Amino acid sequence: MKIKDIVRILEAEILCGEKYLEREILDFAACDLLSDILAYSKEDYLLLTGLTSLQVVRTAELTGAIGIVFVRGKLPPQETIGLARSHHIPLLKTDELMFNSCRKIVEELIKEESRWK
Amino acid sequence: MKPHYSRERLTLVNELIYEIKVKDAMSREVIFFDEKATFREIQLKLKEKRMSGVPILDEHKNIVGIVSIDDIITAFDKNYIDDKITNYMTREVITVPQNFSVVYAIRKLEQSGVGRLPVTESANSKKVVGVITMSDILNKLLVEVQSVAEKVKEEEAKNGEISDKIIQKVTKKPLRFEVKGDDFDSAGRVASITKKYFQNLKVPTEIVRRIAIVCYEAEMNICLHSFGGYIVVEVNEHNEVVISAYDRGPGIPDLELALTPGFTTASEKIRALGFGAGMGLPNIKHCADKFEIKSSLKTGTFLKAIISLGEENETK
């Protein structure tokens, strides 16, 4: 699954990083606790979160996230978008709640899987 | 010159606009009037100083309004140029607090379309301590970029500035970073630079990741819980990365408790940022091959984490 698929599935708005939508997502993290992301995430993952502070981008960059989705329709401050832009991390925004975002992605993953079988 | 050169420079400026505070770029000389002034007086001053507007302050230097060239033109037009400004001035004023990053001021200048913004003492205060314009910001940025460039020239890499050139030159020297207490905006910078540094040395991704996480957690700890300190990153003779974090107190009263996963002393403010899950120290311990921590209520806390770069990954 690519980031551009997420844009479609979650009807997301692209806040920055249009160039990087072809990136392949290898893992997902849905989390509002940065400490947990630092402890458990894997490389090349997509982060879904309700946090919009600068530290989200810092954490994402350091742990090797390839993109961030802000759920619950939250718009990050300009500082956050600026930092993401300078670290080449695409930012998406969706009005879906966290649980629903995850559900939609999982449903799509299952569809994808059955297509391969 | 590599093709991505200009992009890297932009990254530097991009980082700088977050780092530079409004108070470092603003001019402290504020030309202002009080409410008793007339449009005529202000018009003459604006003409003399070639300015586009002035703040109106009360006797405590608190901002109560602003008069711009537009207001003056209207005053001419409607024939009240000799009247006092009290009843006509704009009372809704956009200001920026002095301890915000200049990126905030840039945004406000762009959004409002005005040329200059009054700077207040803090976010909750109306007291004016300076004025900032786009050219103040550009000047400050140029000075900063210049000073980074000079540091590259002088090979003074002691603070590990954001620059690939410096990074290459300090290969065998330790990187030393100051970390301020309570400065959330720049927290994460040390880890970011360190990560880039080891990526450039072609260290495997998984190891770089552990190094970055240890740096970040250590940095956040200093920033969230201490009065400030510094972090030193070096490669020792056994091909191991040694990350040492020192702070100036107040020290950890019960180390065993602090190392227990889930234990935290974090405030609401820290939790709102997404931290304070009580996983910081346990996570550092988890990522490191060797881990050591000492703390004293008198001198502060010292933390050392060692991560092996492996046998086959000789650093250059």
For the segment B199-225, the average pLDDT, to the nearest whole number, is 89
Q: Are residues B162 and B297 in the same domain?
A: yes
Q: CA-CA distance, A23 to A25, in Å (whole number)?
A: 6
Q: Are residues B130 and B201 in the same domain?
A: no
Question: Is B78 contained in some domain?
Answer: yes
Q: Does A36 touch chain B (CB under 8 A)?
A: yes
Q: Please tell me what DSSP assigns to residue B28.
A: -
Mutation target to probe the A interface, by most A beta carbons within 10 A, among B192, B197, B221 is: B192
Question: Is B313 contained in some domain?
Answer: no
The mean of the pLDDT values for chain B is 82
Domain containing residue B177: CATH number: 3.30.565.10
- Residue of A19, A14, A22, A32 whose CA lies nearest to A102: A32
Query: What DSSP element (H or E) covers B133?
Result: strand B128-133
Is the model's pLDDT at B313 over the cut of 70?
no
SS3 B83: coil
- Per-residue pLDDT tens digits for B94-124: 999 998 888 889 988 888 888 889 999 988 8
What pLDDT is attached to residue B11?
62
Name which residue leads in pLDDT, B8 or A10: A10
Q: Does A79 touch chain B (CB under 8 A)?
A: yes
- Contact of A91 with A81, CB cutoff 8 Å: yes
**Residue corresponding to tokens 């091959």:** B289
Determine the number of helices (DSSP H) and then strands (DSSP E) in chain A. 5, 5
Length of chain B: 316
Q: Tokens representing A44?
A: 């090349």
For the segment B292-310, the average pLDDT, to the nearest whole number, is 90
What pLDDT is attached to residue B168?
47
Q: Tokens representing B284?
A: 């550092």
- Per-residue pLDDT tens digits for B230-269: 999 988 878 889 999 999 889 999 988 988 888 888 888 8
What's phi and psi for B74, nearest 5 deg? -60, -40
Which residues, listed in sequence order, are joined to residue A45 by a DSSP beta bridge? A27, A65
Confidence bin at B188 (pLDDT 50/70/90): confident
Interface of chain B toward chain A, CB-CB under 8 angstroms: 10-11, 14-15, 17-18, 101, 103-104, 107, 184-185, 187-188, 191-192, 195, 205-206, 209, 212-213, 216-217, 273-280, 282-283, 286
DSSP secondary structure letters along B225-279: HSSEEEEEEEE-TTSEEEEEEEE-S---S-HHHHTSTT-----HHHHHTT--SS-
Is the model's pLDDT at B155 over the cut of 60?
no
Q: Are residues B126 and B270 in the same domain?
A: no
Q: Are residues B134 and B170 in the same domain?
A: no
Domain containing residue B129: CATH number: 3.10.580.10
Q: Are residues B175 and B115 in the same domain?
A: no
Question: Is B314 contained in some domain?
Answer: no
Measured CA distances, B178 to A109, B10, B229, B281 (Å):
45, 23, 6, 20
Is the model's pLDDT at B7 over the cut of 60?
no
Q: CA-CA distance, B250 to B58, in Å (whole number)?
A: 41
Q: Are residues B119 and B163 in the same domain?
A: no
Q: Are residues B176 and B254 in the same domain?
A: yes
Q: Are residues B198 and B283 in the same domain?
A: yes
Q: Cβ B274–A86 below 8 Å, yes or no?
A: no
- Residue of B99, B303, B309, B299 whose CA lies nearest to B220: B303
Domain boundary among B138, B164, B184: B138
For the segment B270-298, the average pLDDT, to the nearest whole number, is 87
Q: Are residues B121 and B165 in the same domain?
A: no
User: Percent of chain B having pLDDT more than 90?
Assistant: 30
Kindly provide the b/e burial profile for residues B232-261, where b requires at least 16 CB atoms within 10 angstroms of the residue's own CB.
ebebeeeeebbbbbbbebebbeeeeebbee
Q: CA-CA distance, B178 to B195, in Å (whole number)?
A: 17
Is the model's pLDDT at B180 over the cut of 50?
yes
Domains of chain A: 3-110 (3.40.1390.20)
Q: CA-CA distance, B100 to B108, in Å (whole number)?
A: 12
User: In Å, how far is B153's CA from the nearest CA of chain A?
Assistant: 25
In which order are the strands placed within the sheet that holds B240-247? B175-180, B228-235, B240-247, B300-308, B290-296
Q: Cβ B280–A36 below 8 Å, yes or no?
A: no
For the segment B62-68, the average pLDDT, to the nearest whole number, is 91
A82 CB neighbours in chain B (<8 A) are 14, 17-18, 103
Question: Is B315 contained in some domain?
Answer: no
Domain boundary among B96, B112, B138: B138
For the segment B29-49, the average pLDDT, to the nearest whole number, is 91
Q: CA-CA distance, B271 to A82, in Å (whole number)?
A: 23
Which residue type occupies B23? K
Q: Are residues B210 and B118 in the same domain?
A: no
- Residues spanned by the domain of B301: 155-308
Q: Please tell me what DSSP assigns to residue B4.
A: T
Question: Is B61 contained in some domain?
Answer: yes
Is the model's pLDDT at B179 over the cut of 70?
yes
User: In Å, how far is B200's CA from the nearest CA of chain A?
Assistant: 15
Is the model's pLDDT at B44 over the cut of 60?
yes
Q: CA-CA distance, B205 to B92, in Å (whole number)?
A: 52
Q: Does A84 touch chain B (CB under 8 A)?
A: no
- Residue of B73, B53, B316 whose CA lies nearest to B203: B316
What's phi and psi for B191, nearest 5 deg? -65, -40
Q: Are residues B167 and B301 in the same domain?
A: yes
- Contact of B21 with B100, CB cutoff 8 Å: yes
Low pLDDT (below 70) residues in chain A: 117
Is the model's pLDDT at B161 over the cut of 60?
no
Question: Is B146 contained in some domain?
Answer: no
Indicate the range of A55-69, B9-23, B39-53, B201-215 predicted with least confidence. Answer: B9-23
What pLDDT is attached to residue A50?
93
User: Percent of chain B having pLDDT more than 70?
Assistant: 86
For the segment B142-152, the average pLDDT, to the nearest whole number, is 72
Confidence bin at B173 (pLDDT 50/70/90): low
Confidence bin at B172 (pLDDT 50/70/90): low
Beta strand spans in chain A (E): 13-16, 27-30, 45-49, 65-70, 91-93
Name which residue leads in pLDDT, B214 or B176: B214
Question: Is B127 contained in some domain?
Answer: yes
Number of separate domains in chain B:
2
Question: Parallel, antiparallel, or unpaired: how do β-strands B116-120 and B96-97 relate?
Answer: parallel
Confidence bin at B311 (pLDDT 50/70/90): low
B16 CB neighbours in chain A (<8 A) are none
Domain boundary among B138, B168, B190: B138
Kindly provide the b/e burial profile for residues B159-188, where b requires at least 16 CB atoms within 10 angstroms of the residue's own CB.
ebbbbbebbeebeeeebbbebbeebbbbbb
Q: Are residues B181 and B246 in the same domain?
A: yes
Confidence bin at B151 (pLDDT 50/70/90): low
ipTM confidence: 0.82
- Contact of B277 with A33, CB cutoff 8 Å: yes
Question: Is B210 contained in some domain?
Answer: yes
